[in-house]
A and B are shown apart, each in its own frame.
Chain A
Amino acid sequence: MRHEGVVQMASAADNKWQKDAADQNFDYMFKLLIIGNSSVGKTSFLFRYADDSFTSAFVSTVGIDFKVKTVFRNDKRVKLQIWDTAGQERYRTITTAYYRGAMGFILMYDVTNEESFQAVQDWSTQIKTYSWDNAQVILVGNKCDMEDERVVSVDRGKQLSDQLGLEFFETSAKENINVKQTFERLVDIICDKMSESLDSDPTIVSNSQTGRKLTQEPQPSNSGCAC
């Protein structure tokens, strides 16, 4: 895949920035994007997932930033390159350029901020306009720990996600609620989609030696089958 190539090239060119050299050993790479209004908690959410850390205040993201996390799906190493974007209006044109090539999106709003919820529809349209058609999206209502200040109910979030045809989670980066689940679900639906297209197009399989589908259960290694 092209993206693999790019990243491998990058890591070869500049190893000092790579925390571990094994980083380039992966079977698949998924490029994911976190988008949503300013200060809904995108950076915190990403830090919670990638570093399992939380600070009440991260510097407001300038432009675009990223983190990497490797997960396993059925014996395959899936490297997630997660791009964190600036939510300010002014950065829209810069960040939307990165939508192309992203396989998954986390569209985030803040349950304590009505405006960020109202903007979801807009963000969703942006995804449709700028991303590839098979990109997967999950809607996330962050800061669900702040019940006292909540202005967007769970039901409204659900309703909107149904309306947009997206999966939905309420999360808290601070209390570490549903953060991992959100990413794992996103990876799952991307894998499903990939397997579907593998099914419909046998030529794609040629990339992997085995041609085994990602969603297939791994075969138990202690299988008694002699053949």
Chain B
Amino acid sequence: MADDGQESEVFEITDFTTASDWERFIARLEEVMHDWKLPTLKRNPPVKKGEYTIGSWKEKSANVRYANFTFTITEYKLKQEYNEKDLTLDDEESEDILPEAVEDLMMMENDFPPRAHCLCRWFGLRHFLVLSPAAHSDAVISESRIRILQSSVSIAISNTSCQIPVFVQVQQKWRRMYVGQCEGPGMRTSFDMVHLKKIPHQFNHLAGLLGVFKSKISTPVSSPPPVSVAVRFTYILQDWTNYSWPQLPPDFDAPSGSEVGNSGFGKLPFGAVEDPVSELHLATTWPSLSEDMIVDNDVYSDLDPIQAPQWSVRIRMMEKPQCLLGEYLGDFGKLCKRSESVEQLLGRSFYQDDSDTADISQALQRLTEPVPMHIPTLSSVVTRARTRMHHKKQMEEEPIPGDILNEILQFLFPDAGLIACIRRWSCCIFLLPLTLLQSGAPCLGSCLLHQKLQMLNCCIARKIARENTSMSQSSSAVSLGTNIQPSLSSNSFLPASLSQASFGGSDRGSLASSPSNKDEDEDDDEFFECDEDPEEGENEKVGEEELAAAGNSQDVEMEDVEEKDKIERTEKEEKEKPEKTSDDSSPDEIAFRDTVVYQPEGRLRQCGDLTLICNDDELLYIPITQDPAPMTEDQLEEHATVLAELGTSEEGAELRARMQSACLLSDMEAFKAANPGCMLEDFVRWYSPRDYIEDDDSCNTPHPDMNEEDRDRMKKGKLSSRMMIPGNMWQEVWSQAKPVPARRQKRLFDDTKEAEKVLHYLASLKPAEVALHLMPMLIHAAIIRIQHIEIEGLPSLTSLMTQITQRASKLTRMGSTDIKKYEEVIKQIELAEVVIARAQSLRAKFSQQVLEDDDKQTELEKFVSSLLEQPEVSVLGAGRGPAGTILHRLFAAAQRSANMLPSEEELLADDDVVDHASQSSSVSVKDFPRPAGKEFILRTRVQRPTSYSRALPQRLFCVLMNNDFRLAGAFSEDTTFF
């Protein structure tokens, strides 16, 4: 580059020992410019149309001190994307080439950018520096200070030959006053500004402004070329006369099915209560006029907005319109933050007048009796919910039965006070599990509260099943329905939870194989009288057993006195036997001896056509087994934590296996009971078939301590080597296992205890915690609510919704109890609601007059969609396009109503509006109000300061608004020939 030589000189003369503050200031400015590599910048290709708005701007800042006053110097640069080949390779580097910035002054592609830095807007610059006081309150006001700063900048840019314009911000910051300069080879451009509060009368039109411009240039040339003019007038529409926002204030009594607002019990409220669109700004632009082509002075103007070749529109939205869903969620969020307990809110009396609630142990009984109604509306609501359930069957798509929970939510928390809510909640929890929930083990995909309720349901179902089984021997089976109906308040419970499917989830059967009649009250007396002593007393492995049964209770409950005695007897027998033999005999021997004593019990079905290894005549039976204990999310996690706590050592692993062996033991005992005379090999063939290796080879090795007969039979196959590891878990448990059918085993799942746990959990929840637990459903319901609103062509909404969904699923899945995180999601949902409200509002406004032409209609729809997505949208066909026509009508209507004139409809039937309007307007009132803002860009290229100087770009940008008048000028002069 031509400046290279100069540049290295600059480095040589940079003296960091410079003495005065001023010198140090200049040196620092130069340093920053060098750091940012401004002097050696390459030229970029010309800016494309619209690039100032679409492209991204880079900002870079550094601090510069002048004595003890800190300035910030900031670089603003448009990031241009272009191919290398776009660059015009004019490497001649002639002296005449103007700096990029000076050329930009004359560029017309990016006049009036809708979104840009003010300096970019005023001067059309793509790259500039701004020096401004660092502290926001500081201002450079005195003339002498301004001059010093300007000189400093001037010295710095000539020292560095930086061609980027540098501005100094003067006066108070809000005034946005800048003075600047830019130096190029043989020329200089100075940027200056006038800012007034009132528009001087003589400058209120183009003619006056042209006068200022010309006098400022004061070119000596006798007949300068005409000034080129770009004009933009902006009109504001605030009064949407013949259009009112459809959202009605929430009305909880009226069952309405409308798109927006409250639509019934099962749906969340939705929509903005007020019009979210506040203003429409119409900019009418004349991009390129010659000064001698138009007249605009204080008596006459050619600048009729309808005739403007370019129209563009922006929408100003309400900052935060009141929205129903957002408000609802927000209020609910606040509930989650309350810290009072139920007792604090309701007082002790609530519990006292409700004696059986206080005694939680009676709760189960209460469940199976008709529940006294505390609030009269409750029954009707539940009935209503139930009938809805029958109609809707199941919403497969929603993992949480969303419709149900919505109903509950709506019911629990309409907008009544917290206390009423709790009262209802306290009553509801005893009814809901029975009536509304799906049966079966807790679904881990649902919220914890739901899981707990499912668990309760599960406990009830198992208890009932157990009772039925225990009675099955004594009485013949009676129909299921008549059996339990008297004890339940709801029919819907029965088919759901007593069906075989709910117990026989696994094909290995269930305890509820033959239900029978049973008087509930009778057994409830014994419900908690179970005695665990007989079992624990003699058991050497009590400690381990207790561990193994972690999470389950040790108490054994007998439903029937006779049954109880029988079992005790059996247990004693069982315990004695292994004790006699366990010291010196192998498990197989026990098994063998078992055959002598026991009749087979608890068979489910045959296991294929397998027969016992020791006895070919005996078929192998799959036993009825206990179902594994269902767990809720928190229990599961607790369990996993306990397992993990044992660490990774060998002992840890061993203990872990032992803890989990309860199920194995139970299965083995059931198997033994069902298959007298069986061996571990038999069990393995059913339970883990790959661990029994079929082998016809004669050289297999049966157990050494087996008798001849067994050895022969063993020829069929053998256990896998891992099953034969001495003292392994499987063999050990097998040796401990006594032949006990599932129904007489210690229960793996103690429904009573689990039910109590659930009830305790629910009773101890604070209202705020309940609300927090319901949050996931509410969020889910809110998302579904939004998705049900069919609104298309809003890419930003789609991506917002994706984001919300992802976030919500992540959050709820973690079981998060952090209300703050929920509040973030709620904010996003609010935003989505606002976006939709805006779209609805705009669409309604523009679709009032239906256009006959389909093409025009689609064009209009596209226009409205882009209004929502883009800061400024140009109107196709300006005032004559379909959108333009409607805009025109909207403005005209507003004008008429503002001037108390009859509406358009009353005036004309179905005439051509555009033509008519312009005529009629001259008679009565203009279709458009006075422009709220006028902008002019005046440009020319003339010789300054003398007639033999180069012709250089000159530019004046004028903004005329109600309380703001600004002239921003850039005037270039030749520094070689003057």
Residues of chain A at the chain B interface (Cβ within 8 Å): 2, 6-7, 9-11, 13-14, 16-19, 37-39, 50, 56-68, 81, 88, 90, 93-94, 97-98, 100, 113, 115, 130, 132-133, 197, 200-201, 203
Chain A's nearest CB lies how many Å from the CB of B429? 25
Check: B728 CB closer than 8 A to any chain A CB: yes
Give chain B nearest CB distance to A156 CB in angstroms.
20
Q: Check if B803 sits within 8 Å of A97, measured CB to CB.
A: no
Could you say which of A18, A39, A201 contacts B720, with CB atoms under 8 Å apart? A39
Say yes or no: A201-B656 contact (C-beta < 8 A), given A38-B690, A38-B691: no
Residues of B within 8 A of A7 (CB): 644
Of the candidates B644, B645, B649, the one whose C-beta lies within 8 Å of that of A81 is: B644
Interface status of B628 (Cβ within 8 A of chain A): yes
| Contact A60:B648 (CB < 8 A) given known A132-B813, A197-B806 | no
Q: Are A6 and B637 in contact (CB under 8 A)?
A: yes
**Given known contacts A81-B644, A200-B803, A201-B803, A94 and B722 CB-to-CB distance under 8 angstroms:** no
Does B920 reach chain A (CB closer than 8 Å)? no
> In the complex, are the beta carbons of A59 and B667 less than 8 A apart?
no
Q: Is the CB of A65 within 8 A of B803?
A: no
Q: Verify B628–A17 contact, CB threshold 8 A.
A: no
List of B residues within 8 angstroms of A63 by Cβ? 656-657, 659-661, 663
Q: Quick check: A2 and B814 within 8 Å, CB to CB?
A: yes
Contact B657 A88, beta carbon cutoff 8 Å: no
| Residues of chain A contacted by B723 (CB below 8 angstroms) | 60
Contact partner, A19, options B628, B646, B648, Cβ 8 Å: B648
B652 contacts across to A, CB distance below 8 A: 17
* B649 and A9 form a contact (CB under 8 A): no
Q: Closest B residue to A132 by CB, please name it.
A: B813
| Cα distance A16–B633 in the bound complex, in angstroms | 27
B640 touches A98 (CB 8 A): yes
Please, could you name 5 A-B residue pairs with CB atoms under 8 Å apart, sorted by A? A2-B814, A6-B637, A17-B652, A81-B644, A88-B687
Residues B725 and A93 in contact, CB atoms below 8 Å apart:
no
B713-745 near A? 1/0 per residue, CB < 8 Å: 000000011111100111000000000000000
Please give the distance in Å from A31's CB to the nearest CB on chain B: 9
Question: Is A97 a contact of B444 with CB atoms below 8 Å?
Answer: yes
- Write the B621-654 contact mask toward A (1 if CB under 8 angstroms, else 0): 0000100100101001100110111111100110
Residue of B nearest to A81 (CB): B644
Instruction: Kindly identify which residue among B444, B508, B660, B725 contacts A62, using a CB–CB cutoff of 8 Å.
Output: B660
Nearest Cβ distance between residue A56 and chain B, in whole angstroms? 7
B688 interface residue, CB < 8 Å from A?
Answer: yes
Cβ–Cβ < 8 Å partners of A201 in chain B: 803, 806-807, 810
Given A59-B722, A97-B636: A65 touches B653 (CB 8 Å cut-off): yes
Q: With contacts A17-B645, A132-B813 known, what are 4 further pairs, Cβ within 8 A?
A: A6-B641, A62-B730, A63-B656, A88-B688
Name the distance in Å between B805's Cβ and chain A's nearest Cβ: 11
In this assembly, does B151 line the interface, its C-beta being within 8 Å of a C-beta of chain A?
Answer: no
Inter-chain CA distance A201–B800, complex, in Å, is 11
In angstroms, Cα B644 to Cα A68, docked, is 10
Interface residues of B in 804-825 (CB under 8 A from A): 806-807, 809-810, 813-816, 824
- In the assembled complex, B308 has its CB within 8 A of some CB on chain A: no
Whether, in the assembled complex, B615 has its beta carbon less than 8 Å from a beta carbon of chain A, the answer is no
Task: Give the tally of cross-chain contacts (CB within 8 A).
Answer: 121
Q: What CA separation (Å) do A77 and B389 show in the bound complex?
A: 50
Within the complex, the shortest CB–CB distance from A100 to chain B, in Å, comes to: 5
From the candidates B687, B720, B729, name the one contacting A57 in the complex (CB within 8 A): B720
Most buried by B among A9, A58, A60, A64: A60
Residues of B within 8 A of A132 (CB): 813
Which are the 8 A-B pairs with shortest beta-carbon distances?
A: A17-B647, A63-B660, A57-B722, A59-B728, A62-B657, A57-B721, A10-B645, A39-B690
* Chain A hits for B667, CB < 8 A: 90
B649-A39 in contact (CB<8A): no
Tell me which of B648, B660, B814 has the highest count of chain A C-beta atoms within 10 A of its own C-beta: B648
Q: Which residues of A contact B647 (CB under 8 A)?
A: 14, 16-19
Known contacts: A2-B814, A94-B663. The answer to whether A10 contacts B644 by CB under 8 A is yes
CA of A189 to CA of B728 in the docked complex: distance in angstroms? 37
Complex alpha-carbon distance, A68 and B646, angstroms: 12
CA of A201 to CA of B807, assembled, Å: 8
Which residues from A are CB-within-8-Å of B653? 65
In the bound assembly, the distance between CA atoms of A152 and B649 in angstroms comes to 35
For the side of the interface on B, what is the size category?
35 or more
Q: Among A38, A61, A81, A197, which residue has its beta carbon within 8 angstroms of that of B657? A: A61
Chain A residues, Cβ within 8 Å of B722: 39, 57-60
Minimum CB–CB distance for B355 against chain A, Å: 38
Contact A38 B643 (CB under 8 A): no
- Taking CB atoms, residues of chain B closer than 8 Å to A67 are 648
* Closest beta carbon of chain B to A49's beta carbon, Å: 12
Q: How far is the CB of B418 from chain A (nearest CB, A)?
A: 29
Q: Which residues of B contact A130 (CB under 8 A)?
A: 444
Closest A residue to B657 using CB positions = A62
Compute how far the CA of A94 lies from the CA of B633 in the bound complex, rounded to whole angstroms.
Answer: 13
Q: Are A14 and B645 in contact (CB under 8 A)?
A: yes
Encode B560-604 as 1/0 by CB contact (under 8 A) with A: 000000000000000000000000000000000000000000000
Chain A neighbourhood of B809, CB < 8 A: 133
**Residue pair B648, A59 in contact (C-beta under 8 Å):** no
- CB proximity of B655 to chain A, nearest CB, Å: 9
Flag B306-343 by CB within 8 Å of A: 1 or 0 each. Answer: 00000000000000000000000000000000000000
| Docked complex: B3-35 residues within 8 A CB-CB of A | none
Tell me if A60 and B641 are in contact (CB < 8 A). no
Give the residue of B508, B730, B813 whose beta carbon is less than 8 angstroms from that of A59. Answer: B730
B660 lies within 8 A of A64 (CB): yes
Q: Could you say which residues of chain B place their CB within 8 Å of the CB of A17?
A: 645-649, 652
Chain A residues closer than 8 Å to B643, beta-carbon distance: 64, 66
B824 touches A66 (CB 8 A): no
B491 at interface, CB cutoff 8 A = no
Q: Which residues of B contact A81 (CB under 8 A)?
A: 644
From B659, which residue of chain A is reached at the shortest CB distance?
A: A63
Task: Give the docked Cα–Cα distance between A97 and B640 (Å).
Answer: 10
CB of B360 within 8 Å of the partner chain = no
B363: Cβ under 8 A from any A Cβ: no
B648 engages A50 (CB within 8 Å): yes
Are B628 and A68 interface neighbours, CB within 8 A? no
Smallest distance from the beta carbon of A65 to chain B beta carbons, Å? 6
B725 touches A59 (CB 8 A): yes
Q: Is the Cβ of A94 less than 8 Å from the Cβ of B628?
A: yes
Q: Which of B647-703 contact A (CB under 8 A)?
A: 647-649, 652-653, 656-657, 659-661, 663-664, 667, 687-691
Query: Is the CB–CB distance between B691 and A65 below 8 Å?
Result: no
Contact indicator A93/B691 (Cβ below 8 Å):
no
**B641 & A10 in contact (Cβ 8 Å cutoff):** yes
Chain A nearest CB: distance from B641 CB in Å?
5
Chain A residue at minimum C-beta to C-beta distance from B662? A63
Known contacts being A9-B641, A37-B690, A62-B660, is A68 close to B648, with CB within 8 Å?
yes
A18 and B647 alpha carbons, distance in the complex (Å): 6
Distance to closest chain A CB from B607 (angstroms) = 12
Q: Quick check: A19 and B640 within 8 Å, CB to CB?
A: no
CB distance from A126 to the nearest CB of B (A): 13
A102 to chain B, nearest CB (A): 11
B720 contacts which chain A residues (CB < 8 A)? 39, 57
Q: Is B485 in contact with chain A by the CB < 8 A criterion? A: no
What residue of chain B has the Cβ atom nearest to residue A62's Cβ? B657
Give the distance in Å from the alpha carbon of A68 to the alpha carbon of B797 in the complex: 43
Complex alpha-carbon distance, A18 and B651, angstroms? 12
- Give the Cβ gap from A173 to chain B, nearest Cβ, in Å: 14
- Smallest Cβ distance from B832 to chain A, in angstroms? 16
- Chain A: CB-nearest residue to B442: A97
Q: From B636, which residue of chain A is reached at the shortest CB distance?
A: A97
A62 touches B729 (CB 8 A): yes
Which residues, 439 to 463 on B, are CB-close (under 8 Å) to A? 441, 444
Whether B506 sits at the interface, judged by CB under 8 Å, is yes
Q: How far is the CA of A10 from the CA of B807 in the complex (A)?
A: 28
Q: Nearest chain A CB to B591's CB is how many angstroms away?
A: 19
- Among B506, B647, B652, B659, chain A packs the most CB atoms within 10 A around the CB of B647
